[in-house]
Structure 1
Amino acid sequence: MTAEATLQGVQLRHFVNGIWNNDDAAGSFPIIDPSTGVEVARAPIASPQVVNQAVEAAVAAFEDWRQTTPKERAYYLLQLADKIDQATEKLALMESRNVGKPVNNAREEIPLIADLLRYYAGAARVSEGVGTAEYERGSTSLVLRQPIGVVGLITPWNYPLLEAVWKIGPALAAGNTVVLKPSEITPVTTVALAQMAESIFPPGVLNVVLGDGTTGAAIVSHPAIGMVSLTGDGGTGKKIAKSASDTLKRVHLELGGKAPVLVFNDANLDYTAEQLSLAAFANSGQDCTAASRIIVHEDVYDAFVELFLDRVSKIVVGDPADPETQIGPLVSERQLERVLGFLERATTTSARVRLGGKKLDRPGYYISLTVVTDVDQSDELVQKEVFGPVVTIQKASCDDDMLTMANDVPYGLSSSVWTTNISRTTRFMRDLNFGTVWVNGHLSTVPEMPFGGFGESGYGKELSAQSIDEYSQLKHVMITSID
């Protein structure tokens, strides 16, 4: 099996300057079907030379691309959105098989991805900023929003196509050119996206290089790249920020999370348990916004736990290709071992596994949906991101304790509040130290609103028109009148 092997009709190759390249001089990596644990393809690792070729192509393409008008860039993005719509079923099957997510979930994602591109096509044409005016007598000031140049995009394995578009959309809308590296675990739909883009964008505007950490490091350290945007874990984010400082390039980091879910004594418990059973385990819990840390008021703690356990026990775990499946396997053997390691260490504490906690006896990387109670605030399961189908439930005596427990983690990405009390809502939406606060809901994002976290969850915003600003630089121009 060569590094050029196909997965559902997609040849896993680099896409540089409009040309497909299967150079694997730096080696190759396996693509594993997580539902079986079987290797189904191999992909080449881009050497520093291939990365350099991609950057040079992006630099050359930038000279023309930066001159395009917002209307022109919008037209390109709309064409790509149309192609995604036409390939919805094919992309969903690829994503399901490569990531291990249920095919019905993958089918729901693809239209959202096309819609996101259409949003950026519109946002590219609506520039907001400081008004042109005379701030000094005799002079007129204006602000130009200009592209940065070449941006390096490094995307994760849990939502490969979605995260690629989250970054490609604003980067191209702002007038930059792109060198993108998808995760070595799940590169398939990103390569498929490049195939669609091949007939749309000028050569060099969008380049995709496959590879591992060495490829990512070559992107981050390249002096001709003006910005790096990563979605990944905190350790990788810190390394990238440190490396990028050598060339003073801009860094955009969307990292991990440990979302607190606050269930108050006035919440609709049936509705809350139903919604959270899905929000906790969606994508097998491999979501930085997963409802993984539930804090319940003591007045309703026992009733909520009983309802939640009942709902979770009815969730169907199985083959991602089966339309009845709600939760599939973890993405890799390494991720499975990581999650099991958390659970093994939890048995040495007071933690009580109420449901699941074991690898399923079947091929692939399956683990039973797990609910753990009686955890301490300082426990690893509470403080660290497990990134798997593991949920902790804690008891709190009052609103103040719930707020303290919620904020007492290093992450600050997302949170949710479940209450019918408007005063409580306004307090917690203000005092929760997280970039997103949902009220009586969890997981939803919309293109129009910014997404990003605080603290160990990184910095910079995805989505919204603000994300176009993230990929732009502002220039003040002052024109002085001379008589």
Structure 2
Amino acid sequence: MSIDVLQNYINGEFVASSTTETLDLINPVDESVVGRAPVSTKSDVDAAVEAAERAFMSWGKTTPSVRQTALLKLADAIEAHSDELVEAECRNTGQPKQVIADEEIKVGADQLRFFAGAARMLEGKAAGEYMEGFTSYVRREPIGVVGQVTPWNYPFMMALWKIGPALAAGNTIVLKPSDTTPNSTLVLARLTKGILPDGVFNVVLGNGETGATLVEHPALGLVSITGSVRAGIAVAVSAARQLKRAHLELGGKAPAIVFGDVDIEKTADGIAEAAFFNAGQDCTAATRVLVHESIHDQLVDALVRKAETLKPGLPDDPDTFYGPLNNINHFNTVSAKIADLPASAKIATGGRRSGEQGFFFEPTVITGVDQRDDIVQEETFGPILTVQSFSDEKEAVTLANDVRYGLASSVWTQDHGVTQRLSAALDFGAVWINCHIPLVAEMPHGGFKYSGYGKDLSGYGVEDYTRIKHVMSSHD
């Protein structure tokens, strides 16, 4: 397999970095080197930000219809180049190719079309005379140049979640993809040529230090990251020093609360698929099953049976449910979580590496855990599901909320009253009822507590990339 030599995308062109330092890109399927990317320096970041500043002078003044047209053209280009994008993404992630095509490329293009429409639907308070003799109205304006950092779990779709609302609102962008998964973002950058004016969308490659350099740039009006709690806190602290805005979508530890009246097999199927999809590398993944004590053993048995059918495998294998963990560091972290389980914990299935090559890990179901155990409290970001029991509704809510994360949750029951009470009581940004993990562009995605703040998707996501100005005019 050939080795890609990657470059930054600045002011509408691919350009070499000012540094000779590079990072090897490792295919997690076979652990081979498939590319080399520059570790961009401050001068590279400066060049990208300066290009975005120049472009904002005109892009920030475009009409919503112009921005809508550009985003619609970009969505069409994405669909037309689906095969190329799938191959680029797969080289970095090892995900099943059909999953990339269906869940990132197709869905991502649809989400971009939503943002194209949202560009023309911004809302504000009605103009009126709120004080006698004066008319007031609200202007909703773009912020300016925004810096964005994307993760490695869904590299292409997360890039679209970032750029869609930012461009719809009239901002210009400097984006740094994860150091392990830059390929599909660079294909996206190439597709913007001729659709977006030069400098509107820029990409700088590099490591965490490169990302910190971008976040610290004084010309940015907002910084946005999807990533770990540790990275999110670092971004928030850096942004606070310059009083710039931060938009954070961080980790999760989603509970799936199961009551005794469910169809056990159907519920187990839904939860297991939501737990192990993309090898559990999803901040909204179902990671903690909280089940009523009356059906605990039956549900565990059903989860194990389902888990053992959801096999990791190669990207072209139609029987593959999920691919490898993304990189060796993450593989070692997930493995350590299993090695450090308390003595009381029981691995009902899985818990081991799958195969001898690549970063594949078996779907894992664990029982006998306590609420204070690290495996319950901290995000694993791997194909690991814990099961705990509860005796009543109050205890279920207490256990669900007793983690530092607040991104997503689900409730499984046929009792309408229970769903209504728990949807209010659960301290999470999303509550799914008898399902877990579906997302739509029209609804907001974002959490509370250590899961961050700010919303992706929906009109709220676009609003996050705007600033509000009050204009008041005297009648005299």
Same fold (TM over 0.5): yes
Please name the residue that 1:277 is paired with: 272
Task: Give the match's secondary structure for 2:273.
Answer: helix
Please name the residue that 1:476 is paired with: 470
Kindly report which structure 2 residues correspond to 1:260-409, keeping only aligned pairs within 5 A, or say none: 260-346=255-341, 348-409=342-403
Output the amino acid matched with 1:396.
F
Shift of 1:314: 1.3
Residue pair 1:26, 1:46 contacting (<8 A) in 2 also: no
Supply the distance in 1 between the matched residues of 2:84 and 2:318 (Cα, whole angstroms): 15
Shift of 1:24: 5.4
Matched, 1:255 2:250: yes
Shift of 1:23: 1.7
Supply the distance in 2 between the matched residues of 1:41 and 1:461 (Cα, whole angstroms): 33
Please name the residue that 1:93 is paired with: 87
Please name the residue that 1:17 is paired with: 11
TM-score, normalising length: structure 1 = 0.97
Supply the distance in 2 between the matched residues of 1:314 and 1:170 (Cα, whole angstroms): 38
Please name the residue that 2:40 is paired with: 46
Supply the distance in 2 between the matched residues of 1:121 and 1:254 (Cα, whole angstroms): 22
Shift of 1:451: 0.6
Q: Which runs of 5+ in 1 are unaligned?
A: none
Supply the distance in 1 between the matched residues of 2:261 and 2:86 (Cα, whole angstroms): 39
Displaced runs of 4 or more, over 4 A: none
Supply the distance in 2 between the matched residues of 1:22 and 1:129 (Cα, whole angstroms): 43
Residue pair 1:356, 1:370 contacting (<8 A) in 2 also: yes
CA RMSD in angstroms comes to 1.2
Task: Give the match's secondary structure for 2:241.
Answer: coil
User: What is the aligned counterpart of 2:452 among 458, 465, 469?
Assistant: 458
Residue pair 1:279, 1:443 contacting (<8 A) in 2 also: yes
Matched, 1:171 2:166: yes
Please name the residue that 2:213 is paired with: 218
Please name the residue that 2:124 is paired with: 129
Q: Which runs of 5+ in 2 are unaligned?
A: none
Residue pair 2:312, 2:354 contacting (<8 A) in 1 also: no
Output the amino acid matched with 1:116.
Q
Supply the distance in 2 between the matched residues of 1:45 and 1:182 (Cα, whole angstroms): 12
Task: Give the match's secondary structure for 1:293.
Answer: strand
Task: Give the match's secondary structure for 2:156.
Answer: helix
Residue pair 2:25, 2:34 contacting (<8 A) in 1 also: yes
Deviations 1:376-409 (A, max 9, x none): 0000000000000111011111111111000000
Supply the distance in 2 between the matched residues of 1:245 and 1:349 (Cα, whole angstroms): 43
Identity rate, percent: 47
Residue pair 2:165, 2:462 contacting (<8 A) in 1 also: yes
Shift of 1:276: 1.2
Supply the distance in 2 between the matched residues of 1:404 and 1:379 (Cα, whole angstroms): 16
Residue pair 1:97, 1:320 contacting (<8 A) in 2 also: no
Shift of 1:199: 2.1
Number of positions where the alignment pairs a residue of Structure 1 with one of Structure 2: 475
Shift of 1:277: 1.4
Supply the distance in 2 between the matched residues of 1:102 and 1:476 (Cα, whole angstroms): 49
Shift of 1:28: 0.9
User: What is the aligned counterpart of 2:71 among 69, 77, 102?
Assistant: 77
Supply the distance in 2 between the matched residues of 1:157 and 1:480 (Cα, whole angstroms): 53
Task: Give the match's secondary structure for 1:36.
Answer: coil
Output the amino acid matched with 2:30.
T
Task: Give the match's secondary structure for 1:292.
Answer: strand
Deviations 1:22-49 (A, max 9, x none): 2251511111110001111111121100
Residue pair 2:303, 2:365 contacting (<8 A) in 1 also: no
- The answer to which of 25-34 and 59-68 deviates more is 25-34
Residue pair 1:97, 1:321 contacting (<8 A) in 2 also: no
